[in-house]
Amino acid sequence: MHISKFVTPEIIFGNNSINQVGESLRRLGAKKVFVVSDHEIFNFGWTEEAIYYLRQNGLSHFNWNEVTSNPKDYEIHEGVKKYLHNDCDAVLGVGGGSVIDAAKSIALLGTNGGTIHQYEGVDKITVPLPPMVMIPTTAGSGSEVSQFSIIVDTKRSVKMTIISKSLVPDIAIIDPRTLTTMDHRLTAYTGMDVLTHAIESYISLAATPLTQVLSLQAIRLVAKFLRPSTASKYNMAAKESMAMASLQAGLAFSNAILGAAHAISHQLGGLLDCPHGEVTAILLPHVMQFNLIACPEKYIDMAEAFGEKTFGLSEMEASRLAIQAVQDLVTDLGIPATVSKHGLQDDHIPALSQNALNDACMITNPRDMTLEDIASILKQIV
């Protein structure tokens, strides 16, 4: 067993836990909080609820709602100008993965300076970040507990992966009530992102016994609760379980990193500005099929986490049940088989393949990939 680090923020979990946000930032020393959200989350009332508890604890704030899906470099640069101009000293993110990634990147530039492009890659942050508290409203990206921030470089049409332990928030507040305002499509997409985090972290070359326990439990929860969570906004047992699955998968992938499905998905999102969870769901069965020969014994574990019966089957027969279980879930959720509606074309494939090969998440994929391998997978989803 090799020695490895495991990073995590303080975690506050449970219905109505959003009421802890003011006290949490106050004990981190905040005086004026830069609140990052988007217009939809603000309209749902979650941002205002968080701000209410900031005021209850004597904290002033500046509210900034200009984040879009797949946050862009220019949005980050505009946000940090607002952060500095308003003399803020802490950051609160309220929203999905796009909002939280943006909040972390604004905190990064608020103390380290420069442009966000300078920090693409691993461990390029040198100055400590201001206090950060994150409240996710999806289940979800796991960004509220991770050391990742994913930002679109608009000139290259590429998603930049920024990885640093400095990006791990100080406190993550996970209130399952926030999941009740997602529609069924977003519930399905974000839930499949949770599953992809769990599967890729489980078979990652950087996985450890600690991350694998979390990955497998997240798979069990998704297998049981994503369908009912997608079916009804008001099934609180399913919402609470999916919130926990997202948390567990987030902790797992933050420490074990990910694999080819995310490496390729990042590039599709950067080029086509399409929903990340939808794209990872479409890619996942294809990438699982490619990776199967690298670790069939782990696929058997995952099949059993899905509730599949593997007794009496050969190793390869049992391991393939994991791929089929994922494909059945994708089908049941009504997720399409291709990304053609988002404009993917054959002539995009060479550049997408090269960019995916260079993505940091490809490093921990369990099977080596070539440009031709990536292109072959992309051709299956055009």
The stretches in the chain having pLDDT less than 70 are 1-3
CA-angle at 112, arms to 129 and 153, nearest 5°? 105
Taking each continuous run of H as one helix and of E as one strand, the counts in the chain are 14, 9
C-alpha separations of 57 from 52, 90, 302 in Å: 9, 14, 45
Picking from 178, 198, 232, the residue at the C-terminal end of a domain is 178
Residue 2 falls within a domain, yes or no?
A: no
- Residue 192, domain extent: 184-381
Residue 248 falls within a domain, yes or no?
A: yes
User: pLDDT tens for residues 110-145?
Assistant: 999 999 999 999 999 999 999 999 999 999 899 999
CB 163 within 8 A of CB 253: no
Same domain, 55 and 131: yes
Residue 1 falls within a domain, yes or no?
A: no
Order across the sheet with 32-36: list the strands: 10-13, 171-174, 132-136, 90-95, 32-36, 60-64
CB 267 within 8 A of CB 361: no
Listed residue (256, 263, 257, 258) closest to 374, CA to CA: 263
DSSP state of 129: P
CB 122 within 8 A of CB 136: no
**Structure tokens, 282:** 């479409």
Picking from 113, 148, 178, the residue at the C-terminal end of a domain is 178
The structure tokens 């926030």 sit at: 178
CATH number at residue 316: 1.20.1090.10
Residue 165 falls within a domain, yes or no?
A: yes
C-alpha separations of 208 from 72, 168, 203, 218, 347 in Å: 33, 19, 10, 15, 39
Same domain, 131 and 208: no
User: pLDDT tens for residues 320-346?
Assistant: 999 999 999 999 999 999 998 999 899
Picking from 178, 203, 234, the residue at the C-terminal end of a domain is 178
Which pLDDT score is estimated for 64? 97
Residue 3 falls within a domain, yes or no?
A: no
C-alpha separations of 184 from 138, 215, 223, 234, 301 in Å: 12, 24, 16, 11, 29
DSSP state of 127: S
Same domain, 256 and 332: yes
Same domain, 86 and 140: yes
The structure tokens 């998440």 sit at: 361
Number of domains in the chain: 2
Same domain, 104 and 169: yes
CA-angle at 375, arms to 192 and 275, nearest 5°? 30
Same domain, 210 and 68: no
Same domain, 139 and 42: yes
Same domain, 21 and 43: yes
Residue 160 falls within a domain, yes or no?
A: yes
Same domain, 46 and 69: yes
- Distance between CA 247 and CA 177 in Å, rounded? 15
Which pLDDT score is estimated for 3? 64
C-alpha separations of 111 from 114, 166, 237 in Å: 9, 12, 40
Residue 4 falls within a domain, yes or no?
A: no
Which pLDDT score is estimated for 4? 79
- Distance between CA 213 and CA 316 in Å, rounded? 23
Tell how far CA 192 is from the center of its chain: 10
Each residue of 186-204: b (16+ CB within 10 Å) or e?
Answer: bbbbbbbbbbbbbbbbbbb
C-alpha separations of 183 from 54, 109, 234 in Å: 28, 33, 11
Same domain, 236 and 280: yes
Same domain, 97 and 216: no
For the chain, how far is it from start to end, CA to CA, in angstroms? 42
CATH number at residue 150: 3.40.50.1970
Q: Which residues contact 362 (CB under 8 A, 6 or more apart)?
A: 259, 260, 263, 356, 369
Which pLDDT score is estimated for 340? 87
Which pLDDT score is estimated for 1? 56
| 171 DSSP β-pair partners | 10, 133
Same domain, 153 and 257: no
Say what the alpha-carbon torsion angle 24, 30, 33, 38 is, to the nearest 10 degrees.
Answer: -30
Residue 364 falls within a domain, yes or no?
A: yes
Q: Which amino acid is at 339?
A: V
